[in-house]
Homo-oligomer: A and B are copies of this chain.
């Protein structure tokens, strides 16, 4: 196992492309690997959505954190993925790895975090696999559904779209938001129920990273404005751009449609903030940020977070 060919050199995103090329799918798969969730032809009116998220002790949480919060997070990550497609979560199965000497009350609290979150969002927890493991591992697969006319993909951003985010970004690890965040399910459903949303993702890898997924899949560029970005009061601009695990929604919408959205947000007092942070541009313009000074800087995407 030489360093030369170790996984750390190729990274998660490079590796996903290797895998994508080997996989064969049939006509029932509208979207496979590469969006927040897979989209599968299901019945006349709805698509089936399928996603999975794994949390590993050490990488995503530490054992001395609140086990209830860890359980809550494990399911909420997947709920956030389904929300970002415009869908509703329905069924979950969980695989859990637990150390042999783990206290039962710790394990119960962890499961209670998962189960309470499932019950809160009317998700049926229908199966599980429990294993012995040195580190705590929680992997939850979530099946959802979405009405065909409400599905939102990463790949449909249009030149001229305004880019919006919900909530405030950055500092999620420091503030503990990454553990206790409320997945933006109701917010996403409000958006897709009432507006034509062209593209959407949840911000799990950081604003720059996740917006770059939309740009790549939609083959467009973007300009964002530093002063427009809603920064969490515990964070700074850099954190808001690059920190992961905000689990806010990032979406694009035509200018015309956005007028209605903004008007409704002001009049109806949405319970959550939405902020325009930039615009979708022609692909040739690339991906850049404009600072208050007027200076423009190209944004480059790292994308090796998990290795």
Residues of A at the B interface (CB closer than 8 Å) are 1-3, 5-10, 12, 15-16, 18-19, 22-26, 28-29, 31-33, 37-38, 40, 43, 48, 50-54, 56, 58-60, 90-91, 93-108, 111-112, 115, 118-119, 122, 124-135, 137, 139, 141, 143, 306-307
Contact = CB atoms under 8 A, between A and B. Distances in A.
B33 A128 contact: yes
A40 B131 contact: no
A97 to B, nearest CB: 6
A143 B8 CA distance: 31
Given A33-B125, A104-B5, A135-B133, A19 B56 contact: no
Contacts of A40: 91, 124, 126
A111 B22 contact: yes
Contacts of A10: 104
B124 A26 contact: yes
A152 to B, nearest CB: 17
B134 A29 contact: no
B307 A115 contact: no
Contact of A139 (B95, B104, B143): B95
B33 A126 contact: yes
Query: A-side binding surface: helix, strand, loop or mixed?
Result: mixed
A112 B137 CA distance: 24
B50 A128 contact: no
Contacts of A127: 32-33, 37-38, 50-52
A5 B306 CA distance: 34
A201 to B, nearest CB: 14
A107 B103 CA distance: 34
Contacts of A307: 98, 100, 130, 132
21 contacts: A5-B103, A5-B105, A7-B99, A7-B100, A7-B104, A19-B111, A23-B119, A23-B124, A23-B125, A28-B90, A32-B126, A37-B127, A50-B127, A50-B143, A52-B141, A54-B137, A56-B132, A56-B137, A59-B132, A93-B141, A132-B306
A56 to B, nearest CB: 5
CB-CB nearest 6 A-B residue pairs? A141-B141, A38-B126, A54-B95, A52-B93, A139-B139, A32-B126
Contact of A53 (B7, B31, B95, B124): B95
Contacts of A107: 7, 15
